[in-house]
Structure 1
Amino acid sequence: MESYIESLLVHNAFYIYTILFVLIFLENTVPFVPGDAVLIFSAYLSGREALYPLPSFLITVTGSLTGFLFVFLLSRSWHQNIYQKLPFRIHPEKIRKYRGLFQRHENWALVVGRVIPGSRLFLSATAGFMNISIIKATILTLLGTLIWNSIIFCSGMLLGENWEMIKKTLSQYSSAVNLVIILLVIIITGWKWILPKLRKHYG
């Protein structure tokens, strides 16, 4: 595999770096694309000098940021009509309430969200729906991406052949985080919407 990539770099480096950019972009825009596996493998190859470390790092950061902005701007353009297209009606007061909740914690959400695989697409869309400042959102997302990609690149380059171990650990971490998010959504939904209706019906 490494010899094949080295051959591509010798004859057409643009090709391999373009693929790297596209895969990282897709991880931020399409659910279930294993972008962190690509990130880890590129870090490993950089450590083995099959890829150039600085260009690889910058391309992964650019791919992540471009993916975020794509989803953010798309969601932002839809935010006026998206709620009308949902199969259930959300009261305008609730929309304002959740907008305020996200805005109060948007700094942490946008930075920390970059280190949680599987949550990036959701947070990008939410930031767009809530009409967050694009400059602020870009800076916070860039900060989180730089932190996360630096951790992955340093780990991948240091651990070398054990890059599969990092991938497996991240996969388990991602699954656990996603499970917690799903449970929280179910609990909050039940507490905010279902429980009051049951009390009203039986009370």
Structure 2
Amino acid sequence: MEFTAIANEAQEVGGVAGWAVQLMERLGGIGAGVAIAAENLFPPIPSEIILPLAGFAAARGDITLVEAISWTTAGSVVGAVLLYLVGVLFGRDRLYRVAERVPLFSPDDLAKSEDWFHRHGSKAVLFGRMIPVVRSLVSVPAGLQRMPVLRFVALTALGSAMWNSLLVLAGYHLGGQWEAVSGWASRYQVVVFTAVGVAIAVWLFRRVRARST
């Protein structure tokens, strides 16, 4: 089968979907994996579009459902490992030097963050794969703290498989209405970003008040 129907749908949502369709058209399931790997490295590329499209492709028989889930999960792991390596190469010493120059931040704050990640890092990596933007960023502190690679890969693969399967299966069952998935995911993103924004605002308020007293 051809990807014509998918391409027609993708034209309505802009360039990212069109680009993902071209990759899947040329490379099949591998193309979906490449697109998701890029999404990990460049969070503005929305997995909430790519994954349902892969599900739609599976529903049409252009790729199998197993290929859609397997390749997108592999792409997630590849992207996450690259960011993990960024953390390893950047290093803790350099991070602490940067922390000393950041206004309203201190090495003590960083030490507390490291302690938190040391205690909860496995859960952060696993469940962080299901949270927009966090699924990319969480790989960096894992690299900074040198989380064992096999544990990191296993947790990333498991969390990614759960998230990817959810959106791929939604696109598979919705068929031509796959865009509804991105609508639901967008509302989820708004909730997450609002919660993060409120948390940052509260932290800044408390830090400025502590400095002024």
Q: Could you tell me the TM-score, scaled by structure 2's length?
A: 0.80
Unaligned residue ranges in structure 2 (runs of 5+): 8-23
Query: What is the match of residue 208 of structure 2?
Result: 194
Partner of 1:51, secondary structure, is coil
User: d(CA) in 2 for partners of 1:128 and 1:141?
Assistant: 13
Pair 1:40-2:40 in alignment: no
User: d(CA) in 2 for partners of 1:36 and 1:78?
Assistant: 30
Q: Would you say the 8 A contact 1:72–1:125 is kept in 2?
A: yes
Q: Which amino acid aligns with 1:119?
A: V
Q: Would you say the 8 A contact 2:52–2:169 is kept in 1?
A: no
Aligned pair partner of 1:107 in 119, 122, 126: 122
Output one character per residue of 1:20-48: Cα deviation in whole Å (capped at 9) or x when no partner: 22211111111311123111100111012
Q: Which amino acid aligns with 2:212?
A: L
What is the Cα deviation at residue 152 of structure 1? Answer: 1.6
Unaligned residue ranges in structure 1 (runs of 5+): 7-11
Q: How does 1:30-109 map to 2 (within 5 A)?
A: 30-79=42-91, 80-85=93-98, 87-88=101-102, 90-109=105-124
Partner of 2:146, secondary structure, is coil
Q: Are residues 17 and 34 of structure 1, via their aligned partners in 2, closer, same or farther at CA, if it must alter by over 3 Å?
A: same
Q: Would you say the 8 A contact 2:3–2:25 is kept in 1?
A: no
What is the Cα deviation at residue 51 of structure 1? Answer: 1.9
Q: Would you say the 8 A contact 1:36–1:117 is kept in 2?
A: no
Q: Which amino acid aligns with 2:210?
A: P
Output one character per residue of 1:163-197: Cα deviation in whole Å (capped at 9) or x when no partner: 11111110121122122112212212332x32211
Query: What is the match of residue 15 of structure 1?
Result: 27
Q: CA RMSD in A?
A: 2.4
| Equivalences, count | 193
Q: Would you say the 8 A contact 1:47–1:157 is kept in 2?
A: yes
Q: Which amino acid aligns with 2:64?
A: Y
Identity score, percent: 23
Q: Would you say the 8 A contact 2:38–2:79 is kept in 1?
A: yes
Aligned pair partner of 2:36 in 14, 17, 24: 24
Partner of 1:96, secondary structure, is helix
Query: What is the match of residue 168 of structure 2?
Result: 153
Q: How does 1:132-143 map to 2 (within 5 A)?
A: 132-143=147-158
Partner of 1:105, secondary structure, is helix
Q: Would you say the 8 A contact 1:118–1:174 is kept in 2?
A: no
Aligned pair partner of 1:144 in 135, 139, 159: 159
Output one character per residue of 1:71-118: Cα deviation in whole Å (capped at 9) or x when no partner: 011112102313324542754333221111122222221111111122
